Every structure is written in structure tokens, then in C-alpha cells.
Structure 1
Amino acid sequence: MTAYSDLMAFQRETEALAQVMGRLGWDQETMMPSGAAAQRAEEMGALETVLHARRTDQRLGDWLEHAVAPDDVAAANLRHIRRSFERSRRVPARLASELARVTSRAQGIWAEARANEDVAGFLPILSEVVALRREEGAALGEGADVYDALLEGYEPGTTSSELTAMFTALRPRLVALRDRVLSAPEPAQLTGIFPEEGQMILADVCARAFGYDFTRGRLDKAVHPFSSGSGLDVRITTRTNPADPFNCIYSTIHEVGHATYEQGIDSAHFLTPLGQGASMGVHESQSRIYENQLGRSRAFTGWLYGRMRDIFGDFGIDGEDAFYRAINRVSPGFIRTEADEVQYNLHVLLRFDLEQALMRGDLQVQELEAAWNDRFLADFGRPVDRPSHGLLQDVHWSVGLFGYFPTYSLGNVYAGCLHDAMRRALPDLDGDLARGDASGAVQWLRDRLQRHGGLREPRDTVADAIGGGPSEGPLLDYLETKFGSLYLA
């Protein structure tokens, strides 16, 4: 027990420092003056050097060798620390620091390039990021597949071949549903201008409706919405568009799903390896079920219609049913984060295939824009009209998140399974949502999944919550039922 106690005391400090580094990243995307980017890159690199030294400290190996787990919680903590130790010591300290420094700098360059539609201005720094991530993947894999080695950092226990099989099963029914829906008449759209102040008021209202605790968080704006932190400090961001308030509303609800997962973890796990979500796929299941199955349901949108009218007055949609159809409108589009439920996963599969090719050296950075545009045309039947609608739209590759994108679709699959189980457990759910009350759904997710944090492996976390193994079937059935009734009835 002495070894275990010493190990956990050391780990608590490491976890606290990692939270500080996360706060630096949050500040960089929300409040940091643009002129501070070069210094922030150095700060991030320096802090990563400290964290890498702690994560590879030889005392960890000694403690892990002698630690005894008195219960399941301790055993799970040891599992996480051992996994982190073994992965971290494969990566040289120089590489870890350089990755932190370069990706911090790349983030600002990407934001500027996106604003200026300047792919050429972004590719040099992206080449640096890709080269460093390839080197990291090779070090982590020790001869195994580079991409799988990176994927393990986001979704432990999952391989690209398993995801490819799942996504191959998803694609035919998604494409068939999309083609049928897009051949039907489109519903009405919003008209008018929606001031930012009103959008942020509504974002606040929706965040509270879905259980976000503002005493342990805050809502700000960023170029790309995200959630940051865990435990007692979990922050979210959104963005506004005066012509499209749905972007703000549903980006907020999405990030609230991430944030309430972190806020819902048992406080006994704070600043331990279990005090965070089980994986990015499980995390995404929470954001997507909040945003889509709950937030875009007929019951909740009926309530939201009234709140929209209160704030914005008449906006060209007459009645709750028409509003529900407008929110769930399926239409051709370029942007993943704005994509409807039918087409969202097709956007993810494009990125999944391209980033595998990049990491394995089958595709070079200078070829990436053409490859993206060719694939988008093949998958969506229209040419990319500008870089911010194509290669430059996502922040992920600029900050080195290779292996992250497939967890979005995996999260959708998990959300489909959780929603199916939730509906069976909560027969009065629609009545609550129609009053703007998502507390029953939030509590069900908290009890069944969120409070456990990283106690179980990702797939086991979902399987325990739903009472069986997850599969893509419930998601596809949900989509076909919902959009069939909206468009094809």
C-alpha cells in the first residue's frame, strides 16, 4: 500500500499540471492576445517537458512493480498509469517538447490561414506536425502500425481495422438514406438576422437545460467550439453566425455533453487517472446524444421554438412542426460541424481515410488538398468551393490530433446504443423534454455511464451502460426511422 499511496500522490501532481496545461490551451483559443503566440508556444513546450519527465520518471516503474491494488478502483488507476508510463517512455523528451511547441504555433497559423483562405500558408507548418506525429507513432508502435499507435491514445483497445469494418457497415445504409432524403422537397429555412447577444443568451439557457454547472465552468467564444478541463473546472466554447443561430445553439449543446460528462464523474476520482472520460469515443457519445437524439428531438425542439420566438420574434418558421423539420433539415453542405445527422459520418469517414494515408506515408502533405477535394467530390457530388470549406475547416490536424477523427463516428454509434437503452428506461422522456427539462436523461447517463469516468475500458463502459455489446444497428435504425418520417412518409 505504501507503493500505491506514493504512486497516487505523485500522479495527483501530474494530473494537476496537465490541467494547467489544458488551461493554457483554453486561453490560447479564447482570450490570449494574438501577439503572444510565439511565447505561448515556448510555455507549452516547457510545460510538456516537465510533464513528460514526470510521466517517464523511473520511480513510476518501481512503484508499479510493487503496488498492490486493494480494490477495483485502485486496479483501474494502476492500469491507466501503467499504460501512460509505457507509452510515454517510448517517446523521447525532445520529441514530446517539440510536438507541444510546434502544435501550439501551428494552431495560430491555421486560424490565420483559414481566415485568409490560404492553404499555401498553412502547409509548411502542417508538414512539420505530420513529420513529428509520424515519428511519434513509430516510437509508440515499436514496429507496429503507426496509425494504430496514435489511435490507441484516443480510443484504447481499438484498431483501425475494427473501425474500418464498422464504418464499412455504416456507409451503405447512410448513403442510401441520404440519396432518398435529398431527392425529397426541402423544409423551410430560417430567415433574418440573429444578433450575437440573443444567441449567447439562448446558448446559456440551453446549457442550463442540459445540466451544465456554471459554478464549475464558463461559456466563451472560439473559432472552433471545444470543451476543456475536468473535475471542478470544465469550460466550454461556442461560436456565432448572425445568419444561423442553430450553429451556436447546437455547438453549445454538443460541448455541454462533453462538459457534463466531466462534471458528472464521481468526485472521488478527481485528479486521478479515472477523473476523465473513458475515451474520446465514449466522450463523443455524450456530446452527440445531447446534441442530436435529445436536442434535435421533436419534444425538445418544440420547447426551443418558444424560446427562439421570445428572443428573436418572427423568423420565418410557422409552428413547432415546421421548426422541427427546419432544425433537422438535410441539405448538401461542406462543413462537418454543421452537417445533419444523415451526412455527418460521411464527413468523418473522409478524414479517417485521409489521415491514415498521411500517417502511413501513402499521402504527402503537398497532395492533401487535392486528395481532400477529389474525395469530397466523389462522396458528396459537389466541388469544394474554398479552402475554409475543405482542408482548412477543422482545427484537429493543426494541433496534431491524428487518430481523433474516427472517434466521432464511434461516438455516434455508442450514442445510438445509449439512446435506445434510455428510451426503454425512460418512457416519459418526451414529456420532460417538451418542457425544456433534460434532467431525467442527464441523470440516467450520469448514473449509467458518466460517474464512472475511466474506471472501465471504453467498450466495456458502454456495454455496462446498455446491458450488452454496442453495434451500429441502433444508430442506423434511429436515423432511418427519424428521417424517414420527416422526409419520406
Structure 2
Amino acid sequence: MTALTDLLAFQRQTEALSSVAERLGWDQETVMPRGATEQRAEEMAAMEEVLHDRRTDPRIGEWLDAADPQTDADRRAIQLIARDYSRSSRIPARLATELARLTSLAQGIWAEARAKDAPEDFLPTLDQVLMLKREEAAALADNGNLYDALLDDYEPGMTGAAISSLFDAMRPRLVALREEVLGSERQPAALTGHFPQETQLRLARACATAFGYDWTRGRMDIAVHPFSSGRWQDSRITTRVVETDPFNCVYSTIHEVGHSGYEQGIDPDYAFTPLGRGVSMGVHESQSRIYENQMGRGRAFTGWLFSRMSDAFDGLNITDPDAFFATVNRVTPGFIRTEADEVQYNLHIMLRFDLERDLISGRLDTSDLVEAWNARFLKDFGVAVDRPANGVLQDVHWAVGLFGYFPTYALGNVYAGCLNRALRAAVPDLDEALARGDATPGTEWLRENLQRHGGLMPPSDLIEAASGGPVTPEPLLDYLEDKFGRIYGL
């Protein structure tokens, strides 16, 4: 057992240092002074150099060869360490360090360019990031598909071809549903008014509590682009506030609580091991999406939310809970992915998936990206992009090098559809609790059947075990057609 003990002790320190690096990233997006960007880039580069040295330490290979695991958890931990060791060993230290430095800088450059609607200020830096990501992909791909090599970081075992096939199967029903919805004579009213920031944040905290967020192990801050960060005893969330749109804040918060709830729900015995984090970004998104949509945007919870918002904002222009439910789920051809309704959200992801595959393959240059984005958006949504902040500059992902991440959002929706079907069968009185502002029966079922396992199982195995069947898009599509068919009288 000495080799296994030494290996896990070494990994424990690596996991702890990785958490410190992640917290530096959280700090940069929330409270770091704007003038500290260059210093933070050097700090992130230094942390990455230390982490890369640890992840490629030759002793890991020796310990892996000599380890004799006795439990399923130890066997799975060794499998994950071996995978990380193999991938890290293929990436030169210089490349890992430079990527950390550049993406830290690029994040600030992107934020400034987005604020000024100036893609020309960001695209040269994006081009540098893209060159490094292509180099990384080539190092990992072993002459295989470059995009698949990057996708595997976020959804192990998944390929671009499989994602493309899934999207091809989903698109016709999504487009048909959208056309029926937008052509319906029954169109819900929009929520209008002024909704002060502090009142929104109080309401968002109440929603986070309703969905089981453990405030003793987390906190909420404001960020340009909402995200969650951390694990184990320190898992933080962020949201954003638009004073004309409280749904932005409320549902960004619930979404991020889904991510953080996953991390807070993992078996504490897995802390500081490879099992002590979400197994993939697709599974992670399944939690954020089922919290936000199937539970948070359902008629039961929106009834509770209607009452709370009516009190918090001294009345609303929407005056009854059924109309409010329809307003929450209103389908409009908006620009922003994070604000998109459930019907169109996956179409936003399909656009980004195709563009980033073309960027990685070299079929698309960054100099042509704005034009390509705008043309594709007009084709897919029938609306011309009005300004870059609503187009190519809206997402931070490419700035920080997350090529291959976007499709996991849609995959998470598919996973959430499978999980929701199983959850509703297992907890038939869930809506009664949601109507009281209590998501506990749903979150506890997810914790028991999925979250507590952390990285113990591969992604598809975990979803199949939790949902009791194979992963297919049909449960999601059936759910969308039923829900929006009722709202829009189809």
C-alpha cells in the first residue's frame, strides 16, 4: 500500500494547490483591482508552473505502476490520476505557463473590449490564445482530431462527431417548436419596471437558500459573467444585476447554485482527491440546468417567486401567478445566451460549437470571426446582431481558452432531461414543496443519486445510473414541447 499511499498524499497537495489557483481566478473576476491584471497574470503563470511540475513528476508514473488498489474508489482515483498524468506529460511546461499567463491577461482585455463594444481591441489577443490552444491540442491529439483533444478535457470520452450527431438530431424539433411558439397568437407579456440592485440581491439570496445553498461553505458576489468557483468547504457563486430585468439575477443565481450544490454535495471523504470534484462539465451543467429550468422555471416554483417578487418590488405589471409563469418562460429572439429561453438556448450553443471547431481547425480566422458570428446568428435566429457586446464579445470562454467547453452546456441540458424524468417519477410530490419555495426534495434526490458520487463514475455511466436509462435527447425535447405547448396553447 506504500505506493498508493504516497501517490494519494502527493495528489492531495496538488489538489490543494489547484484550489488556491482557482481562488485566484475567482478573485480576479470579482474583487481584484482593475490595475492588477499584469501582476495577476504573473501569479497565475507561477502557479501553473508549479502545478505542471507536480502533474508531470516522474514519481507519479512509478507510483502508478506499483499501486495495488483494493477499493473501487481507489481504482477510479488511480484511473483519473493516470489520465491527468498522461495528458499533462504531453504538454510542454512552457506552453502550460504561457497559456495561464495569456488567458489571465486576455480576460481583462475581453472585459474592457466588451464594455467599449470594440472587438478590434480583443481579437489580436484572442488570436494569440487560439495559437496556443492549437499547439496544446496538437500535443494532446497524437495526430488525431484537434478539437476532440480539447473537448476531452471537459467531457471525457466525448467527440465532436458525436456532439454534431446529437445536435443534428435535436435541431429540427427545436426549430419547429420555436416557429410554432413565435407564431402563436398567445404571447406572454414582458415584465417591466425598475428593480433596484439590493432588492434583487436579497431575492437572489432567498432563492439560493430555497435550493439548498450552504452559506457556511459559500458566498455570492457580482461578476460580469456569472460563474461558480471552488469545491469542498469553499464553493462560491456569482451573479449579475440588470435593474430592468430581475430574472437575469434570479436565474443566474439558481443556475450557479446548481453548480455549487454539486460540489457541496460530493462525499466529503473524496476531498483533495480526483473524485472530489464534478466528473465532467456536461454533468455539472445538468445540475445547474435542472435547478434553473425544470425546477426553477416550473409553474410551482414561479408561483412562490411571484409572491416574493410582488412583495419585494411593491407590485408587478404581471398580476397573477399563471401569467407570471408564462412571462418567466417567454420565448423571444434575444442575443444573449445566458438569458436565452429553454427553447432557443441549445441553438445558441450549436452556433458556438460550429464556430469554435472552425477556429481550432483553421477553417476560420479570428479576423473573420465577427462577420462569421453575425451571419450565422442572422441565419439561425432571424435577427441582425446590433452590437459586438451582444454578439461575439458576450462570452468570456474563448478569452480564457475554454475551447471545447460550449457543447457541454447543451449536453448538460440533455442529461438534465433524463434526470428530470427520473426525478419526477421518484418524487411525485416535488411540486408541492417547490410551491412553498422549498426545492429540498429535488436537491436531496440529486445529491443522493448523482452529486455525492463526485468523479467515481464516468459521465455517461453516472447519468445512466441516476436516471435509470440510456442518455438520449428525447426526454428533454418531450419536456420542452409539453411545457411550451401548454404555455403557448399549441
Fold-level similarity (TM above 0.5): yes
What is the Cα deviation at residue 332 of structure 1?
Answer: 1.0
Structure 2 counterpart SS, 1:194: coil
Unmatched tracts of structure 1, length 5 or more: none
Letter in 2 for 1:35: G
Aligned to 2:461: 460
- 1:64 to 2:64 alignment: yes
Q: After superposition, give the CA deviation of every residue in 1:336-359 in whole Å (9 maximum; x if it has no partner).
A: 000000000000000000000000
1:116 is matched with: 116
Distance 2:60 2:266 in 1: 25
1:392 matched to which residue of 2? Answer: 393
Aligned to 2:139: 139
Distance in 1 between residues matched to 2:385 and 2:190, nearest whole Å: 23
The residue number in structure 2 matching 1:250 is 251
2:181 counterpart residue number: 181
Per the alignment, in what secondary structure is the counterpart of residue 44 of structure 1?
A: helix
Please give the alpha-carbon distance, in whole angstroms, between the structure 1 residues aligned to 2:131 and 2:478: 41
Correspondence 1:471-486 to 2 at 5 A: 471-486=472-487
Aligned residues: 489
Cα offsets for 1:437-461 (capped at 9, x unmatched): 1000000000000000000000001
1:488 is displaced (CA, Å) by 2.5
Query: How far is 1:396 from its partner?
Result: 0.3
Task: Provide the secondary structure at the position in 2 that maps to 1:144.
Answer: coil
Counterpart CA distance in 1 for 2:66 and 2:469 is: 35
**Cα deviation 1:45-100 (Å, max 9, x = unaligned):** 01000000000000000000110110100001001100000000000000000000
Deviations 1:158-205 (A, max 9, x none): 111111111110000000000000112421111210000000000100
Q: Kindly provide the CA deviation profile for residues 261-309 of structure 1, in whole angstroms up to 9, marking residues without a partner as x.
A: 0000000000100000010000000000000000000000000011101
State the AA in 1 paired with 2:460: R
C-alpha distance in structure 2 between counterparts of 1:108 and 1:441, whole Å: 38
Equivalent residue letter for 2:108: G
The two structures, once aligned, show a CA RMSD in angstroms of 0.5
Q: Name the % identity.
A: 63
1:162 is aligned to: 162
Distance in 2 separating the partners of 1:21 and 1:115: 26
Matches within 5 A, 1:283-362: 283-362=284-363
Q: What is residue 271 of structure 2 aligned with on the other side?
A: 270
Aligned equivalent of 1:28? 28
Q: Secondary structure at the match of 1:249?
A: helix
Q: Give the Cα–Cα distance (whole angstroms) in 1 for the partners of residues 323 and 444 of structure 2.
A: 30
TM-score, normalising length: structure 2: 0.99
Q: Shift of the alpha carbon at 1:467?
A: 1.2
Counterparts of 1:317 and 1:53, CA distance in 2: 58
> AA paired with 1:148?
D
* 1:78-227 aligned within 5 A: 78-184=78-184, 185-227=186-228
Report 1:393-412 matches (<5 A).
Answer: 393-412=394-413
Q: Deviation of residue 469 (structure 1)?
A: 1.1
2:437 equivalent in structure 1? 436
Q: What CA distance in whole angstroms lies between the structure 2 residues aligned with 1:186 and 1:396?
A: 33
Deviations 1:215-264 (A, max 9, x none): 00000000000000010000000000000000000000000000000000
User: SS at 1:488's partner residue?
Assistant: coil
Aligned mates of 2:431, 2:237 — CA distance in 1:
26
Secondary structure of the corresponding residue to residue 398 of structure 2: helix
- In structure 1, how many angstroms separate the alpha carbons of the residues matched to 2:177 and 2:140? 40
| 1:175 counterpart letter in structure 2 | V
Aligned to 2:153, what secondary structure does the other structure show? Answer: coil
- The alignment partner of 2:318 has SS state of coil
Q: Is the partner of 1:229 in helix, strand or coil?
A: strand
Once residues 299 and 16 of structure 1 are traced to their aligned partners in structure 2, the CA distance between those partners, rounded to angstroms, is 41
For residue 152 of structure 1, give the secondary structure of its aligned residue in structure 2. Answer: helix
- The TM-score with structure 1 as length reference comes to 1.00
Structure 2 unmatched ranges of 5 or more:
none
Counterpart CA distance in 2 for 1:446 and 1:329 is 30
Name the CA distance, whole Å, in 1 between partners of 2:157 and 2:2. 30
Q: CA separation in 2, counterparts of 1:179 and 1:119?
A: 32
2:233 corresponds to which residue? 232
Looking at structure 1, the residues matched to 365 and 143 of structure 2 have their Cα atoms a distance apart, in angstroms, of 21
Query: Residue 398 of structure 1 aligns to a residue in which SS?
Result: coil
- Give the C-alpha shift of residue 313 in structure 1: 1.3
Say yes or no: does 1:76 pair with 2:76.
yes
Structure 2 distance, partners of 1:382, 1:324, is: 26
SS at match of 1:235: strand
Corresponding residue SS for 1:399: coil
Letter aligned with residue 65 of structure 2: E
Report SS of the residue matched to 1:437. coil
Mapped partners of 1:224, 1:338: distance in 2 = 11
